[in-house]
Structure 1
Amino acid sequence: MKLLRRGSSDESDSPDASSSGSADVAASEVTPAQSGTPVPGSKETSGKGRPTPKRREAEARRRGPVAPAPMTAKEARERKKAARKSMSKDERKTQAAERRAAASERRSRMLAGEEKFLLPRDRGPVRAYVRDLVDSRRNLVGMFMPLALVLIATMFLGPVIQQYVTLAMFVMMLLMVIEGIYLGRMINKKVRARYPDSTEGGFGLGWYAFVRASQIRKLRAPLPRVKPGDAV
C-alpha cells in the first residue's frame, strides 16, 4: 500500500508532468493572429498587413495631388500662361492647330443645324420651325442694312440730299416696325397651330423671328434649310 501511494505521489510531483501540462495550456491560449496563420474571412493578408488598394486609389497616388479649379479669370489666365511656358514651340503650334480644327468643326456643325452644337436660343423644334418660316419668305427688314449703308454714303453729297436721305431712313424704319409686328403675329399664330402644347410664344418668339429676318440671308446662322417661296 505504501508503494502504491508513493508511486502516485511521484507521478504528480514529477517535473515532466507539470511541464507538459503547462505547455498544453499555453498552446491552447495562442490565437491564430499571434501564430501568423491567416483567419478565413478577415481582410488581413500575410506579408503586407493591409488590404490591397483599389485601382483608382493607386492611379491617384501615381498622378499626385490634383490642383483645384481656378476661382477667378485672372488665375485661369495665369495658369494658361504657365502651361504655355512649359511647352515647346512645336507643342504650342500643334495645340493651336487642334483648337482651330475643333472650333471649325463645331461651327460647321452648328451652321448645318445639328442640335447638339446649336446655341441655347436656337435649340428645339419650335425655333427650327420659326427659322424655316422666316427663310421661306422675302422680308423687307432684310434689306435695311444694305440700304442704310448706301444712304449713309450719300449723305456727304450735299445738304439737299441729306434731307431726302433722312426722310427715306425714317420711312424705312416705319416699314420695319410694321413688318416686325406683322411677322411676330404671323409666327406666333403658326407656332400655336403646329405646336399647341409648346410654352414658347409671345414677344420673345416674335423678336427671334424679327432678328433673323433682319440679317442678310448668307450670314444667318444656322444656315437656311429652305429657299424663298418653299412651303413649310
Structure 2
Amino acid sequence: MKEILIHPAYFGPISQFVALAKADEVIFENEDNYQKQTFRNRMYIYDSNGKLLLNIPIRHRSAIMGEPKMAEKHQLYKEVQIENEFDWQKQHWRALKASYQTSPFFEFYEDELHPLYHKTYKFLLDFNYACLEFITDSIQFELDFEKTSEYAKKPENLTDLRPLINAKQKTEFNQQVYTQVFSDKHGFLPNLSILDLLFNEGPNSLQYLQDQDLKAEAWS
C-alpha cells in the first residue's frame, strides 16, 4: 500500500500496525466524529482468563457543555475529553502488570510506559498520539505522518483504513502465531493490542509486522 488513511487508537490492534508498517505514506484522521465501541478508547489484552477489555472513560458532551442529556450531539474526536474522575489509569496499569510482568520484554519497556499511566491527559486524542509515539520509539519505527485538516467521507487516491477503528468489526488477515504468556491455557488470541506483541516479541516486533500478509481490501 502506498498511502493510507487511518485513525489514531488507544494502543490499537496489531492489524492497524501491520498497515502502518507496510504503508509508504500515512495520514491520520483528525476531523471525524467520535463513535462508541471503537479502539479510540479501548484495547484488548491477554490476561490469565483470556481476552480482557480495557476501556478509557469519556466525558459526555452534555456534562462538559452543561446541556441536558437529551441534547447530546455528535462530537469531534479531537474534542473528546477523558473522564479523569475515574481512576482508570491505575486500573489499566495494574492490569497490564498482572498480565505481562512474566512476559519476555515487559520489564524492558516498563519504565518508558509508566509515565503514560501517571500523567493526566485532558483530551483522548492527545493521549492516543502519546501511545503511538511510545510504540514507534519502542520498536524503532520511524513513522512520518500527516493529519487531516477536513473530513472526507470518500477520500480519493488513498486506501481508507478508517474502518479498522471499529472494535466490533472482525478483521481478517493471516496473522502469524507468536508465543503469548497464557497461550498454554487459552491458545493463540489474534489481533490483540500492539502491546501484547511488544511485550512478547520485543525488538522483533517491527519485523513481525512487516512480515504479515495484508489484504487491505478485505478490511474496508
Structure whose residues are more often strand by fraction: 2
Q: Does TM, scored on the shorter chain, surpass 0.5?
A: no
Normalising by structure 2, we get a TM-score of 0.27
Normalising by structure 1, we get a TM-score of 0.26
Q: Which has the higher contact order (CA 8 A, sep 6+)?
A: 2
Structure whose residues are more often helix by fraction: 1
Instruction: Find the structure with the greater CA-based Rg.
Output: 1
